[in-house]
A and B are shown apart, each in its own frame.
Chain A
């Protein structure tokens, strides 16, 4: 058991001793402050950077203080994967449409570093795949997860080659013209259904729901989350306004680390020219008698 104590006092030392005895884990290594970067191969133990290791007391749900890997990232491991998924959400907010829905295919390489006092920065080399045309593209991305108490969204920059090859113009235009007049406002629910089935006519609305969800997923993401849209619970088309198709969507998001299904309602607009925009978001409570947490509406 190696304990490196730099500027912390005896309290930390005693805490670590106690915790080590409790856990029976003889190889805990703690370094305070930011030390040299650690390659994942040499140290299977991730290195906590100045964060306490907490056990949970009975009956309490603990906040998971995750251990943050720094330096070269293993593309198979979760830190790179979570960051890459954030890039996926970002790309969908920029380029997604009823006929363009992008998913992470492969993480090739990545690295992470602390940005003193401000947050953490990632660099990634990825392959993304557009699901409808099956076209793949190589992307390089940089993202920044702000640190601190406030819940601010990650900032992403990404450039991709080859992803926009799929020509969706004709399909998008046809879909837009078909639905812009108000005679027959579309609606649907449970997309996909319990058996994974999506009616062909519902597919563009499914894709649109996924793209719209990306706005929320991007905003809510941090290094301890991994979001996917699980299902479109329902959607209703509203009257077209300012040449934008408008929809109310109720989506279910799956957050992988907590395993929670999170319900959101969205007001979504789209046109081929303006792309997808999300005007309002509202978090739905998990159960009837539960209260939604504050700052739910956008």
Chain B
């Protein structure tokens, strides 16, 4: 009996002409009557009316929100908000589902080196590696990206004061994912091999190694969330709708000459001036203040090449002969692992004229063993190299790096 009366009452509340509505169950239900109320009629009812003591759950689209609230308040129908924004909850659930599939590693032994990772994963990896190897690894923040991300450099050192150093960087061009993935593997390789591999141990007993894995973090984030093929930084260019500067044309070596573009829309845009990008300036400042780097290796993909200066001029660099021979040794060692073949030579001869590049600047600063790598492959997959090639690529490249680092150590006082 109760329930019939209530039905009638609801009809009245709406301000409709009060009518006695005889509405016997089962055809008549609270749902049916709810549907008669204009503000509620088009809503998605999640928990149907069952009895007087059980609330009704309704999903209210944003466009109806004010109307529904007003109606409920006017009619004195008590309500409470269970979920403020359903979309946010769905997004979070989606994220959880995705990350549950790849559970966050708790140690660098758990970390999956044979897969690509986003920036958060890599930054966690860096912190874990430092925490696990406090006597060997430290993290130096050399600056901030345009969007405020930290520029992290891992320092591998067995002591001393300002020992001669070797610098490695990966990911300066964000779409070259094989490089950040390899850099992560290199970091782990160093801590694993110290004390076990004679050659690496000898290097670290004399020199420090600096490794910047995500050299262009804003770009890297962008390749995960917006455009897989993004290369440059993410700094806007005044007066242009095009974003970003090519960080490998922004260095003060032949800056502005043939081999870079003056157009902000270009993938090889050099920037408004040399070192305009904080991602570049931070390294410049680090190199100058360190003052004792002996080797500088900047790692890119793709093409399978090992390059030495110069890119901005066809004048051979003064150490061309030694750098050429060392490159030959390095790529021979690399090929010994899986037969991967690399070409080598000066940048301008082997790939193209390029001005304002990293290793031309570092070489001109007196860092003799300045090299650029272009990792796998030669075009079949290009930038989107399958994850199952990460480990083979990292392992073979490591042999080339060891050749360069050993030679550096043997030629450094």
Q: Across the interface, which residues of A come within 8 angstroms of B315, CB to CB?
A: 25, 27, 44-45
Interface string of A65-104 (1 = CB under 8 A from B): 0110000001011100100010000000000000000011
Is there contact, CB below 8 Å, between B345 and A76?
yes
Separation in Å of the B48 CB from the closest CB of chain A? 40
Interface membership of A59, Cβ < 8 A: yes
- The contact string, 1 if C-beta is below 8 Å from chain A, for chain B 150-168, is 0000000000000000000
Q: Is the CB of B387 within 8 A of A60?
A: no
B383 touches A230 (CB 8 A): yes
B258 touches A56 (CB 8 A): yes
Q: A37 to B246, alpha carbons, bound, how many Å?
A: 36
A182 at the interface (CB under 8 A from B): no
**Is the Cβ of A106 less than 8 Å from the Cβ of B345?**
no
| Chain B neighbourhood of A60, CB < 8 A | 262-263
A13 contacts the other chain (Cβ, under 8 Å)?
A: no
Contacts A60-B262, A77-B350: A194 and B384 contacting too (C-beta < 8 A)? yes
B352 and chain A: residue at smallest CB distance:
A257
B266 within 8 A of A: yes
The reply on A211 being an interface residue by CB < 8 A is no
| Of B91-99, B101-109, B290-298, B373-381, the one touching chain A | B373-381
Is there an interface contact between B386 and A103, defined as CB atoms closer than 8 Å? Answer: no
- The answer to whether B384 touches A56, judged by C-beta atoms less than 8 angstroms apart, is no
**Which residue of chain A has its CB nearest to the CB of B305?**
A76
What residue in chain B is nearest A79 (Cβ atoms)? B349
Q: Are B345 and A195 closer than 8 Å at their CB atoms?
A: no
Known: A45-B314, A78-B352. A254 touches B383 (CB 8 A): yes
| B386: contacting residue among A40, A58, A196, A258, CB under 8 A | A196
Apart from A62-B258, A195-B387: 12 A-B pairs, beta carbons within 8 A: A46-B314, A56-B257, A56-B258, A60-B263, A61-B261, A64-B259, A195-B115, A196-B384, A256-B303, A256-B351, A286-B265, A289-B241
A contacts, CB < 8 Å to B? 23, 25, 27, 40, 44-46, 53-62, 64, 66-67, 74, 76-78, 81, 85, 103-104, 106, 131, 192-197, 228, 230-231, 252, 254, 256-261, 286-287, 289-290
A-B contact pairs, 7 of them (CB 8 A): A44-B346, A56-B257, A62-B261, A78-B350, A196-B384, A230-B229, A287-B265
The residues of B with any CB-CB pair to A shorter than 8 Å are: 115-116, 177, 223-224, 228-229, 231, 241-242, 246, 256-259, 261-263, 265-268, 303, 313-316, 320, 341, 343-346, 349-353, 378-387, 389
